[in-house]
Chain A
Amino acid sequence: MATTKQTTRTKTVLPAVKSGQKKTVKSTTAKNVRLTNTTWAYAAAPESADHISIKEQYDLFINGKFVKPSSKKYFATVSPSTEKKISEVAEANEKDIDLAVKSAKAAYDTTWGKMPGKERAKYIYRIARLMQERAREFAVIESMDGGKPIRESRDIDIPLACNHFFYYAGWADKLEYAFPNRHPKPLGVAGQIIPWNFPLLMAAWKIAPALATGNTVVLKPAETTPLTALKLAEIIQESGLPDGVVNIVTGFGNVGAAIVNHPLVNKVAFTGSTPVGKYIQKAIAGTNKKATLELGGKAAHIIFDDAPIDQAVEGIVNGIFFNQGHVCCAGSRLFVQENIAELVIKKLKRRMETLLVGDPLDKNTDIGAINSKEQLAKIKHYLNLGQKEGAEMYQSNCALPSKGYFCKPTIFLHTSQSHRIVQEEIFGPVLAIQTFRTIEEVIEKANNIPYGLSAGVWTDKGSKIFNLTSKLRAGVVWANTYNKFDPTSPFGGYKESGFGREGGIHGLMGYVTL
């Protein structure tokens, strides 16, 4: 599985020096000791994949065992960076889901729902520690299966996922303190459906608080990125967690629908697209099922003229190019105050040239592969649409690998609220840039969108930050930074970005009755 390619990266193209410039200092240069034509480039630095184990075939994890799907069907999971099959996973159907939900229900009734919090905590801690021990293996598989750069899976996804388990393990025996005098009780079986952009992290966000509050789980990972969830299933098995407490089932949309519609499911937790979120709400209408939905976003990222500009440029890059832009809270609508727009865009363009796009397993890669062929097609559709709409497209000059699904970091200039590339979630490394004149104008435009998941503000003035955080209709507002996550911090949306919060003490609320 290891990438053994030893090629040297394409040279980063930075502005050349004007030829006349060197002459003026020629008399005083030490030209003989100068290493001439030093075009430095980073040699390939692939993370080793020797230590990981991936089975050729994965079954469904139901009632503590890996079982064959009743359909007897398996589907391939493909590496988006090589287009090669990594493994194949079971395709569940309604029958399997029925089995999984019933196992979860039985585990809830017989063991988990009755177990004291401090006992539950021990299991959750154990899972966290086992994950931590195998963090590097998780990181490599996450990058192979999903296309994200190893730097991110190693430094962000996996450590954060472990931390979620650690954090909620701590809450398990303290629920009475989280909700004083309100006697929190678990709901029962939680059906959880997670997306492909942060596969293991989203599994952790969902499973950890559910277990801490005494619920049992049926979780469905996304069909393009099932492997780390299945590795997690192995760890759960190893941890000795009672059978049926966590069930992990792979498959397509019908599997998700079967979970949502199963009568024994008490709670639906979903992270994904807004249309599916709407479907879920319709499906559970009239039932007693609770839900938390974390849906799409089109975040306003606002740069005022008193901002620390060079750091703001870093924030813009982090906001839209983190995880190839496959982030529901990505800062995809940039608002730059008009008097600094030229400067910011110039600096942003230059910074984009230093972003290395390519092999997700290379430690120097900044932007990896687009998660799937379908997603790449969707992004390309928007690149064409943006140009057709008359926005000016700029892409960095990087070379893309010949195999795999890749997209250059892209910005669109001269856009307005009326452009569809401004209105719709692209879920790729594509930034739409608008300018604004006044604070009132930018607040109005920032809120002028059906979504409300996140926003960012860059200014040197504290009072301006507080003014905006109270007026922006977004679940998370970052000030002078972007895309920061922590288990202790609640995360969730307004409007069509969903409801309910995950993370922090708020994250417990979705899994208890009070």
Chain B
Amino acid sequence: MMHFSQTISIDQLGVEERIARFNTRSIKKASKVQGLKLALSMIDLTTLEGKDTQGKVKQLCYKAQHIADNLTHLPSVAAICVYPNHVKTAKKSLMNSTIKVASVATAFPSGNSSLKIKLADTRMAVDHGADEVDMVISRGQFLEGNYGYVSDEIAAIKEACGSARLKVILETGELSTLENVRKASEIAILAGADFIKTSTGKISPAATMPVTYVMLQTIRDYYDATGKMVGMKPAGGISTAKIALQYLVMLYETLGDAWMTNEWFRFGASSLANDIVMQLAKEEMGVYYSADYISKD
């Protein structure tokens, strides 16, 4: 870890080459099934729309608990991710399950508001029972070079979270360079993030493998320096089982076994779960079945 005013050099082409190597790994048979189940258990099933309603949130929560009752031995997803005003509904719907409720907060997705409002937003989510808070950093302040501001803000939100775990969204699609991603990751981790997360899903590009790789390397370096683990959540754009497996290969070869659990790795995704179910059904039955067999809640 360096001082924020310094920049750790990262070679974009080198990163892309490494990603290409991850993607040549051939994941077949037992390791495929195991990987797909693991990926399913790591999903934060997400609905973050202006048109979200109680009905929609309830349906999603039911789906989270019954992702495909016709298949055997499927894990449930890790969490439901909603806006703060839907936390209560989600919490109630998931009362009898172990699935967590995550809430975005801090003037999501732009983060353009005062600290006071962001704190109130966070407290509301936590008071309503959110187990996890997904905050956004102030990208404007970051790009202005006000790293202290970004850091203090994260620390303040972390305090407001209490026992809820804090995921810090860097919105890497707005940070432009891998060096910036590295720097923002360090700021978030040192300010107390339990997880670092790539994207809101509202900006393109959302999660990419190079960006996630740089964030995983930051987590690795922090762990080497302090012995403390930090979680990782790529979000947005991971829509197929194949891509999810590529992320798991990258996670496995960068951070190792200890991170191969939904305690330390999550996928922020809405349609990924269905593709994984489709692939697992194929492994179980030997053929692909119609997508109409999988619920679209």
Contacts and interface: CB of A to CB of B under 8 A. Distances in A.
Interface of A: 6, 8, 11-12, 14-18, 21, 25, 27-35, 38-43, 45, 151, 155, 306-312, 314-315, 346, 354, 363-364, 460, 480-481
Contacts of B35: 40
A155 B263 CA distance: 37
Contacts of B25: 42, 363-364
B256 interface: yes
B38 to A, nearest CB: 5
B10 interface: yes
B13 to A, nearest CB: 7
Overall SS of chain A's interface: loop
B98 interface: yes
A311 B15 contact: yes
A40 B29 CA distance: 12
Interface string B15-48: 1011000001111111110110110010000000
Contact of A17 (B10, B100, B163, B258): B258
B252 interface: yes
Shortest 8 CB-CB contacts between residues of A and residues of B: A311-B14, A14-B256, A45-B26, A32-B98, A308-B11, A17-B258, A363-B26, A460-B9
A39 B228 contact: no
A38 B227 contact: no
A27 B131 CA distance: 10
B78 interface: yes
B194 interface: yes
A35 B257 CA distance: 12
B253 A481 contact: no
Given A30-B98, A306-B9, A308-B9, A35 B37 contact: yes
Interface of B: 8-11, 13-15, 17-18, 24-32, 34-35, 37-38, 41, 75-79, 98-100, 131-132, 163-165, 194, 217, 224, 227-229, 248, 252-253, 255-258, 260-263
A314 B31 CA distance: 25
Contacts of A21: 227-229
B38 A40 contact: yes
A33 B76 contact: yes
A33 B165 CA distance: 17
Contacts of B262: 30, 33-35
Nearest to B20: A155
A346 B34 contact: no
B10 A29 contact: no
Nearest to A24: B228
Contacts of B253: 12, 354
A18 B17 contact: no
A480 B11 contact: yes
A48 to B, nearest CB: 12
Contacts of A309: 8-9
Contacts of A42: 25-27, 31
A28 B165 contact: yes
A38 B38 contact: yes
Contacts of A30: 78-79, 98-100, 262-263
Given A307-B9, A354-B253, 13 more contacts: A14-B256, A14-B257, A15-B256, A28-B132, A31-B263, A33-B41, A39-B257, A43-B30, A45-B28, A155-B24, A314-B14, A314-B17, A480-B13
A160 B133 CA distance: 50
A308 B41 contact: no
Contacts of A346: 224
Nearest to B33: A43
A17 to B, nearest CB: 4
A378 B76 CA distance: 54
A15 B221 CA distance: 13
Contact of B99 (A33, A41, A460): A33
B122 to A, nearest CB: 16
Contact of A311 (B18, B252, B261): B18
A34 B42 CA distance: 8
B24 A151 contact: yes
Nearest to A42: B31
Nearest to A154: B24
A29 B100 CA distance: 9
A314 B164 contact: no
A36 to B, nearest CB: 8
Residue of B11, B252, B263 with most chain A CB atoms under a 10 A cut-off = B11
Nearest to B76: A33
Nearest to B24: A151
B128 to A, nearest CB: 16
Residue of B37, B165, B248 with most chain A CB atoms under a 10 A cut-off = B165
A166 B26 CA distance: 30
Nearest to B256: A14
A354 B252 CA distance: 9
Nearest to B100: A30
Nearest to A363: B26
B38 A33 contact: no
16 contacts: A12-B253, A16-B257, A17-B258, A28-B132, A30-B263, A33-B262, A38-B261, A40-B35, A45-B26, A308-B9, A309-B8, A310-B15, A312-B14, A315-B14, A363-B26, A364-B26
A8 B34 CA distance: 13
A310 B32 CA distance: 28
A112 B30 CA distance: 56
Contacts of B41: 33-35
Given A28-B163, A480-B14, A363 B24 contact: yes
B27 A311 contact: no
A31 B261 CA distance: 9
A340 to B, nearest CB: 12
Residue of A27, A45, A311, A354 with most chain B CB atoms under a 10 A cut-off = A311
Residue of B132, B164, B217, B252 with most chain A CB atoms under a 10 A cut-off = B252
B260 A38 contact: yes
A308 B12 CA distance: 9
A346 B253 CA distance: 15
Nearest to A36: B261
